[in-house]
Amino acid sequence: MTKPVIGFIGLGLMGGNMVENLQKRGFELVVMDLNKDAVKAVIDRGNAREATSPKELAAASDIVMLCLTTSDVVEKLVYGDNGILAGIKEGAVLIDFGTSIPASTRKIGADLAAKGAAMLDAPLGRTPAHATDGLLNIMVGGDKATFEKVKPVLEEQGENIFYLGALGNGHVTKLVNNFMGMTTVCTMSQAFAVADRAGVDRQQLFDIMSTGPSNSPFMGFCKNYAVDGVSDLGFSLNNANKDLGYFLKMAEDLGTRAEIAEGTSHNLQAAVDAGMGNGNVPEIFDYFLKLAK
């Protein structure tokens, strides 16, 4: 069976590695990114070319993949002049691998369906290193027949593929997951800071907490920074802050309120406002430590 042509927009650390993996597996790529060095790296590997507009990329692709930063960016690429919606082929599939607002995803999906195309939301778990080897976790929402159609391609990109039902459910799940994870990191980082103020040794606190049910990989990341000064959770405060904002918007759209998320969001926003946004999330410990002093 002939492999589908894949259009890919967003060649950052995650997206660039995903494209490298697809190239190693023999797919033809049409790509776009503002970073021309990233585009050149893809083209130099072969069997790839650069599109001059999202419309051109969509018209040349059987599957359009996005790995972008925000819902606003996704909407601009879909709806803008010479956008994806203007060029996408009947029967083509758009896959959004980013973390987006579910209501936005569902709107785009409906507009694509009106043109005979389909959409899946497929946010990612794991790291860019996993992307290079095709070992991501992928959470997929959308029409089941569309999912089955592109599943062989997703299986080239992910070790664990989770089908979650209706369009938008992938983004819902990712936002819930990130709410849980980032709240955990903020809580543990603040625990280290308050313990420090109270005169309790941070290493001893970790030794005690890690022997009980609070132990988790996230605790390890927090300890690595608060105790050892090693920042090794590759997820920025800026990204965490954005995702918590999306989680709160989702809760609002659902007619509910998430007060714990509001607290996490307040702390993340304060750390970003303090100029820490490019740091990894456990570095919020430094913000809490200043408060504790």
Q: Has residue 292 got a pLDDT over 80?
A: no
pLDDT of 1 over the 60 cut: no
Give the number of other CB atoms < 10 A from CB of residue 212. 7
Query: 8 to each of 88, 105, 222, how far by Cα in Å?
Result: 13, 18, 34
Q: Which domains are delineated in the chain?
A: 5-166 (3.40.50.720), 172-290 (1.10.1040.10)
Beta-bridge partners for 137: 125, 160
The secondary structure of 17-49, three-state, reads: HHHHHHHHCCCCEEEECCCHHHHHHHHHHCCEE
Region 4-21 average pLDDT = 97
What is the DSSP-derived secondary structure letter of residue 236? B
State the Cα angle at 175 between 172 and 176, rounded to 5°: 85
Tokens of 160: 């664990």
Say what the pLDDT of residue 293 is: 72
Confidence at 248, pLDDT banded by 50, 70, 90:
very high
Q: Is residue 72 predicted with pLDDT exceeding 80?
A: yes
> What is the structure's pLDDT at 2?
84
Residue 190: its pLDDT value, please? 97
Q: For residue 252, what pLDDT is reported?
A: 96
pLDDT mean over 58-86: 97
Across the range 66-94, mean pLDDT stands at: 97
Instruction: Please compute the mean of the pLDDT values over residues 233-250 and round it to a whole number.
Output: 96
Q: What is the mean pLDDT of the chain?
A: 96
Query: Which residues are designated catalytic?
Result: 174
The proportion of the chain whose per-residue pLDDT surpasses 70, expressed as a percent, equals 100
For residue 119, which of 81, 137, 145 has the smallest C-alpha distance? Answer: 145
Report the DSSP beta bridge partners of residue 95.
65, 120
Q: With a cut of 60, say whether residue 174 has pLDDT above it.
A: yes
> What is the structure's pLDDT at 206?
97
Count other C-beta atoms under 10 Å from residue 47's C-beta: 12
pTM: 0.92
- Mean pLDDT in residue range 200-221: 96
Query: What average pLDDT score do residues 252-273 get?
Result: 97
Residue 229 has pLDDT above 80, yes or no: yes
- Could you read off the pLDDT of 102-127 as tens digits, one per residue? 999 999 999 999 999 999 999 999 88
pLDDT at 238 over 90: yes
Is 85:112 a contact under the CB 8 Å cutoff?
yes
